[in-house]
Structure 1
Amino acid sequence: MSALPPAALQAQAVGVQIGQRAILHGLSLSLAAGRWTSIVGPNGAGKSTLLRALAGLLPCTGQVQLLGRPLHDWPRRERARTLSWLGQNEAAADDLSVYDVAMLGRLPHQAWLAAPSAVDHAAVEQALRATQAWDWRWRALGQLSGGERQRVLLARALAVQAPVLLMDEPLANLDPPHQADWLLLVRALVAQGHTVVSVLHEVSLALQADNIAIVADGRLHHHGSASDSTTHRALEQVFDQRIQIQQAAGMWLALPCLVPSVLKGSEAASKCG
């Protein structure tokens, strides 16, 4: 029997409370290194909260481990070189150029107040070309559309060249061609040995991942291969049988099941066939 791949990230009985509300309830999850895992689930399930806890951006109970080492034991700069983050509605100064925004991803590699090195410039060019943002590298961020801005922020995350990359709703504002480009980019990163963890609302795109972690009500509902029928049934269940997982053109897709929203569970399943 082949050994399981090592874990890039592990959540061990992680709990998060914001104000008086518990968001995550002792959730445990092991994410394999060198794989792409998509985190999916209904609105308000705790997906983004889980990703932020894995990134060390939220206080939590339990423990998060990065590459087998407790997250709080990592020196900040070393952790920033190892784990890259792309969040929702990321803030960035609108008067900065696209190039300078992408260069921010190189800060963990630079000495205090040091000028960017040739390696930094090469990493930024590679990231901007990968996101097709190189041609407008000298434009101000504030002059860009929402989709263009998202590609620049993705380039900033890529410029870190971290082995682990966490992305919360990375497809926001991207049109279908650039969503396809993002899928190809993630696949290339994984082929190079990177670990990618993404929160996605687009279930059909999430199904292109290696693994899927389904979160509901702040708990792990299911974790398995994206191509496994058990995962597909778990997805249909957590979305109240309002989607059907079917294969087309060699890809697994989530198709909407058009039944009245008042029907749930087995009743909705019977209507969807």
Structure 2
Amino acid sequence: MLDGAHILRDLSLQIPRAAWTSIVGPNGAGKSSLLKALAGLLACDGKVQLLGQSVLEISRRDIARCLSWLGQSQSAAEDMRVWDVVMLGRLPHQAWLAAPSAADHAAVEQALRDTQAWQWRERSLGQLSGGERQRVLLARALAVHAEILLMDEPLANLDPPHQADWMALVRQLVAQGKTVVSVLHEISFALQADHLLIMQEGQLVHQGACDDPASHQALREVFEQRIAIHSVAGQWVALPN
């Protein structure tokens, strides 16, 4: 529910663990709202479970440890040092007013290196380009070391090489047993996921494997037959029809 209006309707779904699920659909379909509902950031009338337990029964601190969030237009103070921005991802693991531990420093360094942002660690966020900021915010999400990562438009402002790096990183996370859920406008990237959720007008119209012909048909239908799904070099891609 948003501003008293129901954005999502009649939803029933289960996100596979240790897999990459992509949420796709036309503009205004409810993709971001669904991701916020999964994160507990959007009030809903139904029931949301996290790792088999109702989110209402889990403390916010425990949720913050097991679930990491990268939202649209997410930012931090312009004058914050990149290192400090990423260190914010470690707050759920720290005692109140405690100094960062060696494990916190190691997690931040690894996250910055994984997103190729290590060289900016002493710069302020305001000195970075849009794509560089996105990589820093992704590093903040990675630094949490959460079992579940929810990402809303994570490819925003990234150039093609760094989009490819993001996909490789997601595959690495899944191989480590992490669960990744992403909202993507880039249908060809979404089709590289393990599982697909297709939204339209606040409803889930299809869920299934990305290589399932039924998933491809549902994609064509929600985009009004304006895209075609093709196999190119062993991968499924979406092209204008």
- What band does the TM-score fall into relative to the shorter chain? over 0.9
Aligned to 1:186, the other structure's residue is in SS state helix
Question: Residue 183 of structure 2 aligns with which residue?
Answer: 199
Q: How does 1:53-72 map to 2 (within 5 A)?
A: 53-72=37-56
Question: Residue 127 of structure 1 aligns with which residue?
Answer: 111
1:36 matched to 2:44:
no
1-structure distance, mates of 2:66, 2:79: 28
Contact 2:2–2:42 (CA under 8 A) maintained in structure 1: no
Q: CA deviation at 1:21?
A: 3.3
Question: Residue 265 of structure 1 aligns with which residue?
Answer: none
Aligned to 1:223, the other structure's residue is in SS state strand
Paired amino acid for 1:76: R
- Give % identity: 68
Q: CA deviation at 1:76?
A: 1.1
Q: How does 1:1-273 map to 2 (within 5 A)?
A: 17-19=1-3, 21-257=5-241
2-structure distance, mates of 1:171, 1:237: 24
- Structure 2: give runs of 5+ residues left out of the alignment: none
TM-score of the superposition, structure 2-length normalised?
Answer: 0.99
Paired amino acid for 2:6: A
Paired amino acid for 1:157: A
Contact 1:147–1:174 (CA under 8 A) maintained in structure 2: yes
Work out which of the two has the higher radius of gyration on C-alpha atoms and give 1 or 2: 1
Aligned to 1:31, the other structure's residue is in SS state coil
Paired amino acid for 2:68: S
TM-score of the superposition, structure 1-length normalised?
Answer: 0.87
Paired amino acid for 1:246: H
Q: What's the RMSD between the two structures over aligned residues? A: 0.7
1-structure distance, mates of 2:10, 2:49: 15
1-structure distance, mates of 2:99, 2:162: 32
Paired amino acid for 1:146: G
1-structure distance, mates of 2:16, 2:195: 9
Report which structure shows greater RCO (CA 8 Å, sep ≥6).
2
Paired amino acid for 1:111: A
Contact 2:29–2:200 (CA under 8 A) maintained in structure 1: yes
Per-residue deviation, residues 91-136 of structure 1 (Å, max 9, x unmatched) = 3111111110000000000000000000000000000000000011
Aligned to 1:77, the other structure's residue is in SS state helix
2-structure distance, mates of 1:201, 1:70: 30
- Structure 1: give runs of 5+ residues left out of the alignment: 1-16, 258-273
Aligned to 2:12, the other structure's residue is in SS state strand
2-structure distance, mates of 1:236, 1:103: 42
Aligned to 1:236, the other structure's residue is in SS state helix
Contact 1:26–1:62 (CA under 8 A) maintained in structure 2: no
Q: CA deviation at 1:56?
A: 0.4
Contact 1:168–1:198 (CA under 8 A) maintained in structure 2: yes
